Structures are given as C-alpha cells and as structure tokens.
Amino acid sequence: MSLDFEAIARPHIDLRYLQSFFVDTVNVDANIPSSGRLLLREYSCIPDARISSHVARVQQEAYKVYPYPCIGMLRFLLCTLSEHPAYSQVRSLVVEHDARFLDLGCCFGQDISRLAFDGANTKNCIGVDLESGYFDLAYKLFDDGPDSRGNLKSMPPNGYQFRARFQAADVLNDHAKIWSELKESMDIVHTGSFFHLFDAAKQKRAVSRVVELLNPKKGTMVVGLNLGTTSKEPCKIPVVSEIEPALCHSPQSWRQFWQEAIREAGLMHEIEFLVKVKPMPEYLRIGLLKDPKLQEMQWSLKIV
C-alpha cells in the first residue's frame, strides 16, 4: 500500500520533509508504540494478527485529513499522558473525582481512550483538535464510538460507554464558541506534542488560552509533552516545515513562559511547575530533527 504524497501535500510543507517521517506500511508492525498496541489489544479487543493491517489502513486515511509528522511516525498511537510523571494524579482526579479533563490537540483522542481503559467515566472528558476528520478515524481505530461493538474489556458492570466529546476548534481563534463555553471550568488540561508546533507569538496566544480555561482553584493542573532544547535559550526548529519553524524551549525558558502568562492573566494563586527532561527517541531523529540539542520535556503546572 503506497501513499500519494503529491495528493496530500500542503503549501507550507516540503514533500521531502513529509516523506522522511512516513513509516511505510511494511514497517508498521515494528513501529506501533507499546502503549497503543496495549489499547488495541486489551481495550479495543483487536486480535494481534489484525493490529498491523488495521493501523495501516487508519494511518493512510489520517494522512489524507492532514499530513502531520506524527501521523507518519504512528505517534497517534502513543499515549504520552500515561507515560507522564503526573499521570497517577491525573488518573485519580478523573477516575475517582470526575474532574473535567481537556485534551488539547487530541488527534485521535488516544489519551482519553487510555483514561477510559483505566476506569474513567469519560462524560467529563473533551478532546479538541483543529482537524475534525480525525474524530471519526479515532472511533474506527479504537472501536469505541457510538456504534461500536460494545465488547470493550474495560467496560464496567454498569454498562458504561465511551462518552467523551470531540470538538474541532482552533486554539488561536478567539471567536470559537468552545473557548467561552469552557472558560475557567477545566480541572486538567493535557497538551501532548502540541506547543512545539507554534512560533513564539502563537505559543503565547495558545498558552494564554489554556490559562483562561483553567478552573482557578487548588489542584487544577496542566500537563504536557514538548520537544525542547538543551540550550539555555529557545531555538527555532522545523517541526512541521522549514518554511514555518516553531520555537522549542529550554526547561528554564518554558517555565518562565508560563509564569509570565499566568501573571498577565491576573491569577493570584501559587503555582508549582515541574519539568522532566528525557532524551529524544532515536526514531524521532530523522528528517530535519537531527539537531543533537533537541530533547523531550515532560512538564506539569499545578495550582497549590
């Protein structure tokens, strides 16, 4: 199964760059993240023998929606939230206390599906992405939509069904109704592989948006994963394209970025900000991301 890159190209994405991230169908099985394979096997009840072909079909369709590098690298199956140091806190708040959870830049909503697998009633979970075409594919991928078979192994005796809401919206669009609807109401906001898609000006607007959505009370959290840099100062890297490079932060500059946004928003609460630096996986060091200074940052913000 091949992919027509010319047909799915976008004006600001170089085709050679796009192709460098694509995991060809014949290599899909070896590149499915273990966290995604677990969900497909134990949550969606897909037999091992069918997982690779199932993922390959969905990947091909997803590339036609929008060819983000994460689609080519199968990162839409990577549950970054469950691998986050703060996941035990997030899971407890959502599963045991019905906290309102927003996954911003949710892609296929894989992190919400992981919460469902871990026992969450997802009625208070919202997934927002710019590309609405991913949502139907999410249901197809995990078989947990309104018309699913209903054979999820994680389904409790009370007949729980996946009830998360998916909404297409642009975090930079001030007129999108969802932002006024959710203002000051979210107990947890998750942003996985999200902020490193933007330049400095757009990052500031996106961070300010998240701050506006936070429930201004003790215990409210923001958790995320970004590409970062070992340099003291932020650097520009071509995450999506060479034409529109994004800004990658150091742990220090990222913490300062959030502190300034919170101060400008007038929040008077004390904030705990934690950052854990991880080596960037070798499979990501392809295309234009070979800079040895690049790393992954797992971070969390909490009102204390």
pLDDT for 64 equals 84
Model confidence at 67: pLDDT above 90: no
Residues 267 and 128 in one domain: yes
Residues 220 and 90 in one domain: yes
SS3 call for 186: strand
Residues 152 and 26 in one domain: no
Residues 198-228 pLDDT 10s: 888 999 999 999 999 999 999 999 999 998 9
Model confidence at 143: pLDDT above 50: yes
Domain-ending residue, one of 38, 56, 76: 76
Residues 102 and 150 in one domain: yes
Residues 69 and 125 in one domain: no
pLDDT for 160 equals 46
Banded pLDDT at 125 (limits 50, 70, 90): very high
Cα–Cα distance for residue pair 167/89, rounded to 1 Å: 25
DSSP 223-278: EEEEEEESSSS-EEE-SS-SSS-EEEB-HHHHHHHHHHHHHHHT--S-EEEEEEEE
The answer to whether 36 and 78 are in contact (CB under 8 A) is yes
Domain-ending residue, one of 46, 76, 106: 76
Residues 96 and 135 in one domain: yes
SS3 call for 141: helix
User: Where does 107-171 have alpha helices with state H?
Assistant: 110-117, 133-142
Banded pLDDT at 238 (limits 50, 70, 90): low
Residues 69 and 96 in one domain: no
Structure tokens at 118: 């871990």
Residues 235 and 86 in one domain: yes
- The average pLDDT across 278-293 equals 73
Query: Domain limits at 107?
Result: 79-303
pLDDT for 151 equals 47
Residue reference for tokens 């979970």: 125
Mean pLDDT of the chain: 86
Residues 46 and 93 in one domain: no
Cα–Cα distance for residue pair 3/108, rounded to 1 Å: 20
Q: For residue 183, what is the domain's CATH number?
A: 3.40.50.150
Report the DSSP beta bridge partners of residue 298: 225, 276
Residues 146 and 96 in one domain: yes
What total number of domains does the chain contain?
2
Residues 182 and 273 in one domain: yes
> What phi and psi values does residue 242 have, to the nearest 5 degrees?
-75, -25
Report the DSSP beta bridge partners of residue 301: 222, 273
Domain-ending residue, one of 31, 58, 76: 76
Cα–Cα distance for residue pair 207/205, rounded to 1 Å: 6
- The average pLDDT across 159-164 equals 70
pTM of the model: 0.89
Residues 138 and 284 in one domain: yes
